[in-house]
Homo-oligomer: A and B are copies of this chain.
Amino acid sequence: MTKWVYGFGNGMAEGRADMKNLLGGKGANLAEMSNLGINVPAGFTITTEVCTWYYENGRSYPDDLKGQVLAALAEVEALMNMTFGDGQNPLLVSVRSGARASMPGMMDTVLNLGLNDTTVQGLMERSGDARFAYDSYRRFIQMYSNVVLGIESWNFEEILDEVKDDRGYSLDTELTAEDWKGVVARYKEVVIREQGKPFPEDPHEQLWGAIGAVFGSWMNQRAITYRRLNNIPADWGTAVNVQAMVFGNMGDDCATGVCFSRDPSTGENVFYGEYLVNAQGEDVVAGIRTPQQITIAGKEKNHSTLPAMEEVMPALYQDLVRVRDILENHYRDMQDMEFTIQGGKLWMLQTRNGKRTTAAALRIAVEMAGEGLITRDEAVMRVEPESLDQLLHPSLDPAAERIVLSRGLPASPGAASGRIVFTAGVAEDWARNGEKVILCRTETSPEDIGGMHVAQGILTTRGGMTSHAAVVARGMGTPCVAGAGEFQVDEHAKTLKIRDVVLHEGDIITLDGATGQVMQGSVPTIQPELTGDFATLMGWADERRTMMVRANAETPDDASAARRFGAQGIGLCRTEHMFFDPRRIIAMRRMILADDEAGRREALDSLLPYQRKDFIDLFTVMHGLPVTIRLLDPPLHEFLPHTEGEIAEVAQVAGVSGKDVRERTQKLVESNPMLGHRGCRLGVSYPEIYEMQARAIFEAAVEVARETGVAPLPEVMIPLVSTPREFELMKDVVDRTAKAVFEEAGLAVEYMVGTMIELPRAALRAGDIAASAAFFSFGTNDLTQTTLGLSRDDAGSFLQTYQDKGIFARDPFASLDVDGVGELVQIGVERGRATRPDIKLGICGEHGGDPASIRFCQKIGLSYVSCSPYRVPIARLAAAQAALQSGA
């Protein structure tokens, strides 16, 4: 016989905390508390297996369930010394869902079950409070009718409003017992009207109705959507908890409250919580009455004039402190607890690990490890890596007022205020004059890089989480709200419009890149603090980590930030942004417009000193740490002039006509530049470009080695390779250049030549490519685009629909698509290693900073992940957790 029902109460229980899969989170913790001798209202849990049975058998129950429920109910009656349906001493119960994973508010609950015209009398007698009894009764009817019978709530609220109008009341609390009794009668009429039969008076019929409703709510649309979004399998099912009701609102020896074993906002090891005398649980939460502090210390800290529970009910307070100590020691984590005091007796209704701020999470983890309550490894596992992001950027002062205009995508975290400007040029001009600016554009392009660098924040109205603006902003640690489509940017009129609001150049706005909010005016911010608990925990994490963490950085500023955040090298230095500097772009354009190799070489020669300087600076900052430099990648037309002025300038410098420039520009336009003449295809067509870059790298390396005595470790990366031969041809250019430079200089440095694996074909042919490539860096941005056939610049228009319809659980550009892209990465790793067992393997896409993706990288054995400088701490912690989880 299958055991479908698990009872608990009176210091015993048939379940345990580790039976969450069977009993759900709530049921398992209730059982655990009871086992620990903590006072919980007796009750029983109907298992998740019944839910599965229910759906597999056309919404029916196993035959033997009824008997088990009746037996468990009898046990509850015995333990509580009350009888279900009894006119004198009625047992009332709550019926609640309780899934394996928390699904707050998604499923149904029924309270006060067991009330009818008879038992309400018993409740009245027991409580000595007719008003309380009838109020409870009418609440039950409304809730049950809504949840079980499907009668909409407005039917009942309408009646209550009428009664209040009739009587001239403004608050529910003004209704008398008689009033409520009248309301009950009218509620029952609604039920007859709506369902054609009376409200069920039989408590057992009520009970089975409520159980069915809770199981049924597992498949309501809200729950289905929630599960899809949170990756919770439908076959987990929910448990149903039936538990004796206790009342915190049955007089002044009653109370109800919520408390935390430590302060959830600071993490300080002090008991923290709020309570209300003669009140129900929802009153504490709803904010109708001002809750009182549990402790005297809390009361003082909050400058409260209301008495603390420690003063009002000192004995019960001591009971609660004892429970707090037992539970925190038992669960070895900060607990979030709910309690009710009925007739001077403390009942615990719930305990669970408490939610906390990131600062609190760090402090709790570090202090609990210090107290010996948990190990350092456990401490490392206790902090959500993603949550560190809050600490690494300025954030909005939570206390400050804010006028939110709209919301876009939270593309790069941090908060910033500044004056609106609409072009990169104006941004640079204003910044030079000491103005703080927010660059507002429809979308950004590499030409905007100068303006983006000086801006406090970036706002775009188009593009997604991996649009140019978003990627660049994250790299620079600049707050960015992207794709805020409600705004209209008019570059010519210099206005930013949203509905009736028109902002002009120079007006101040504030961006919150962590939430995507855009606010009018200036909102005060708070600066980050990276020492103390943060530093301690990161130290413990680094001890456990097996993967290296590098940063994607291309300027000395970015590189310095990366080192400050603990990066162990540069995993991706893009070289294209370096060419947008006004002094360089002209030479770059001459190179592109040249008719032949000689013309290109001439222009490249004038770029060489700049490029060499770039690398000297970068190598100097990185001081011997490895630096992966990707040779020129984007299609050449990205560098070409657009405005007539630019065209004329280029034409003059290149000694050709404006018409020639326009024609050449037109010729370079591509239908799908992402799949066009870019990456190593440029190097194959014009090897002299890569030759110049290689020369700049090696000349810089030799110079820095000589000046500092520490040799840089350049790793030259050939982009967009899909065949071994492309790689070999380009490696040959690099090797020949290195040889020439080292001979000229009379000094050689170590270096590697490798490739990005960013095309499906490259992953499939990784075995061949590894024959000559010393390292692979998985470029999962492009690999995602090609594997899914999805342009990150264009996906914005339907990505939300795709997530809403459950096609993508997460944005595949934010978190690696393990089943698709991941398989190709794994194939690349396996085949690359088969050919070259010591091949260096890393990832440098946006995914390198995503904890779930980092877990995957650990699993397949990458050597390092590389991410934006500002995500380095997140990656360090995530990598440590991944290592611990994998048992490394």
Contacts and interface: CB of A to CB of B under 8 A. Distances in A.
A726 interface: yes
Interface string A774-806: 000000001001111111011101100110011
B788 A722 contact: yes
A670 B791 contact: yes
19 contacts: A670-B794, A671-B673, A671-B674, A673-B794, A674-B675, A675-B786, A676-B791, A677-B794, A677-B797, A684-B801, A684-B802, A685-B798, A723-B807, A725-B806, A725-B807, A729-B805, A760-B789, A760-B824, A761-B817
Contacts of A681: 798, 802
B674 A807 contact: no
Contact of A675 (B760, B785, B824): B785
A793 B672 contact: yes
B671 A791 contact: yes
A759 interface: yes
Contacts of A805: 684, 725, 729
A819 interface: yes
A294 interface: no
Given A676-B791, A681-B798, 12 more contacts: A671-B793, A671-B794, A675-B786, A675-B794, A677-B797, A722-B789, A760-B787, A761-B821, A764-B787, A764-B819, A764-B823, A765-B820
A758 interface: yes
A856 interface: no
A61 interface: no
A54 interface: no
A561 interface: no
A807 to B, nearest CB: 5
A677 B798 contact: yes
Given A672-B675, A723-B807, A805-B729, A798 B684 contact: yes
Of all A-B residue pairs in the complex, the 10 with the closest CB atoms, nearest first, are: A675-B791, A761-B820, A672-B791, A676-B794, A671-B793, A759-B789, A760-B760, A670-B794, A672-B674, A672-B672
Contacts of A808: 723
A726 B671 CA distance: 26
Contacts of A729: 805, 807
A692 interface: no
Interface in A683-734: 684-685, 720, 722-723, 725-726, 729
A789 B675 contact: yes
A789 B823 contact: no
B765 A819 contact: yes
A807 B723 CA distance: 7
Contacts of A764: 787, 819-820, 823-824
A760 B723 contact: no
A832 to B, nearest CB: 15
Given A761-B787, A821-B761, A801 B685 contact: yes
A873 to B, nearest CB: 32
A81 B764 CA distance: 62
Contact of A787 (B786, B793, B797, B798): B786
Copies of this chain, count = 2
A777 to B, nearest CB: 16
Contact of A786 (B685, B720, B789): B789
B807 A675 contact: no
Interface residues of A, number: 48
Given A722-B820, A793-B672, A684 B787 contact: no
Contacts of A720: 789
Contacts of A807: 684, 723, 725-726, 729
Contacts of A761: 787-789, 817, 820-821
The residue among A729, A793, A807 with the most chain B CB atoms within 10 A of its own CB is A807
A460 to B, nearest CB: 14
A673 to B, nearest CB: 7
A787 B722 CA distance: 9
A663 to B, nearest CB: 9
Nearest to A806: B725
Contacts of A725: 805-807
Interface in A792-840: 793-795, 797-798, 801-802, 805-808, 817, 819-821, 823-824
Nearest to A670: B794
A685 B685 CA distance: 40
A294 B794 CA distance: 70
A764, A808, A824: which has the most chain B beta carbons within 10 Å? A764
A720 to B, nearest CB: 6
A786 B672 CA distance: 11
Contacts of A684: 798, 801-802, 805, 807
B760 A820 contact: yes
Nearest to A720: B789
A795 B797 CA distance: 27
Contacts of A673: 671-672, 794
In this complex, the member of A675, A765, A786, A808 whose beta carbon has the largest number of chain B beta carbons within 10 angstroms is A675
Contacts of A786: 675, 760, 786-787, 789
Contacts of A820: 722, 760-761, 764-765
A673 B791 CA distance: 8
Contacts of A791: 670-672, 674-676
A673 B672 CA distance: 7
Interface string A266-306: 00000000000000000000000000000000000000000
A801 B765 CA distance: 21
A678 to B, nearest CB: 9
Interface string A750-774: 0000000011110011000000000
A183 B513 CA distance: 88
Q: Which of A761, A801, A805, A808 has the most CB of B within 10 A?
A: A761
Nearest to A722: B788
A823 B767 CA distance: 14
Interface string A3-40: 00000000000000000000000000000000000000
A410 B795 CA distance: 36
B782 A675 contact: no
A360 to B, nearest CB: 38
Choose among A681, A782, A793, A802 the residue with the greatest number of B CB atoms under 10 Å from its CB: A681
A807 B675 CA distance: 17
A378 B8 CA distance: 84
A677 B802 CA distance: 11
